[in-house]
Copies of this chain bind each other. A is one copy, B any other.
Amino acid sequence: MIKAAILGHGTVGSGVYEVFEMNAEKIARTVGEPVEVKYVLDLRDFSHLPYGHKFVNDFSVIENDPEVSVVCEVMGGVRAAYDFTKRCLLAGKSVCTSNKELVASKGDELLRIAEAHNVNYLFEASVGGGIPIIRPMIQCLAANEFNQICGILNGTTNYILTQMIKNGVAFEDALGQAQVNGYAEADPTADIEGHDACRKICILSDLAFGDKFDPEAVSCEGISRITLRDVECADRLGCVIKLIGRAVRCADGTAYAFVAPHLVPKESPLAAVEDVFNAIMVEGNATGDVMFYGKGAGKLATASAVCADMLDCIAHREHRRRISWGDGSQKLLRPLDTFVSPWYVRYQGPRAALEAALPCESVREVGGELAASVSALSTADLKARIAKLEGHVISNMRML
């Protein structure tokens, strides 16, 4: 009988307990013996639950129990989560997490500690919730260099954009709906300003390129400035607007990484990803494009990914996974100024001026304004041309 512990009994933590109960038979079949959750750490009172006796509020009980070989950290945040994760690893316990903030900011250090103590620090659930992405990248696509990663990484913003696109709901109202439906938090900043997606693209970049991509340094633009008019212009250009986390490898091993709303052509498989669903398109230099799709959040989906990591630690407990990346000293992140891409430009002013200033491919008149698709320009070049442009550029976004 394997003993496990859960740190944090919120949405994901209670889901992890539920998955271990619900699929106990399948789990025992998978690892060859039953797995029991021995402790749940939470400061709140859960004594009314059938497993209320398993709750502890003193972390050291778990830390000092040699029977516990694997721990899941689903507390969120970085302070206590960081401290407890480190102490578990130092005590020779593997840790599995859905905590993208911690993995993005301290993953390199925690992976080094795990390696030094011959245990695992696994985080499949930190990107894409229940969608398998971390392990496919590091194992199934191990024989590839990653040319590009391009993903809809945040369900809340995708829900809001879907409401705007499908039902003509304005941003503020769509955000309100998302909050009512439990898809957005009372303070939605981390979602709508792209910080959540940014942590995720950093984790994927760390894995793909082998050195730390600091979320503080990665350019991050959210969706709060997108209007229904932008949605309409995108539609007229054959596109939908999606918040995309992107990482693009350059020939010298450096890479661009950023989060920004993009116009996505309707033919792209990413365009069809709606509501709270996530999808991650990975381009390997041998395998071409592969896409992973599913619910990027949700109690049982995320919990089942954490559980799968725990089962992996148990089934292969004498053998660590080789996962690591550098501390950021390789400085792989390229400034976005030189990143070349086609653009969408929404403009009020004389069409001749617009076409003289920018290499327009297609220009549509939408409600007295002009919506143009512009062929590939660097970010700096676009900005410079716009600065000199007579008339008013209302908005611009990259096109995928």
Contacts and interface: CB of A to CB of B under 8 A. Distances in A.
Contact of A139 (B27, B32, B130, B135): B135
Interface string A273-298: 10000000000111111111111001
Nearest to A293: B291
A141 B15 CA distance: 15
Given A290-B130, A315-B322, A316-B316, A304 B144 contact: yes
A218 to B, nearest CB: 23
Contact of A294 (B22, B26, B289, B294): B289
A210 to B, nearest CB: 7
A301 B284 CA distance: 9
A145 B140 CA distance: 22
Given A284-B304, A286-B130, A292 B295 contact: no
B286 A23 contact: yes
A322 B32 contact: yes
7 contacts: A23-B144, A130-B286, A139-B308, A142-B307, A272-B272, A288-B298, A316-B316
Interface residues of A, number: 55
Nearest to A272: B272
A94 to B, nearest CB: 15
B130 A288 contact: yes
B19 A143 contact: yes
A139 B31 CA distance: 11
A140 B293 contact: no
B291 A294 contact: yes
Given A26-B144, A140-B124, A143-B23, A301 B287 contact: yes
A132 to B, nearest CB: 3
A29 interface: yes
B308 A140 contact: yes
Contacts of A23: 143-145, 285-286
Nearest to A298: B288
A145 B22 CA distance: 9
A30 interface: yes
Nearest to A278: B290
A45 interface: no
A288 B301 contact: yes
A145 B300 CA distance: 12
A47 to B, nearest CB: 26
A318 B30 CA distance: 19
A234 to B, nearest CB: 18
Interface string A121-146: 00010000011100110011111110
A111 interface: no
A300 B286 contact: yes
B132 A290 contact: yes
A232 to B, nearest CB: 22
A308 B22 contact: no
Contacts of A26: 142-145
B304 A295 contact: no
A312 B139 contact: yes
Interface in A176-217: 210
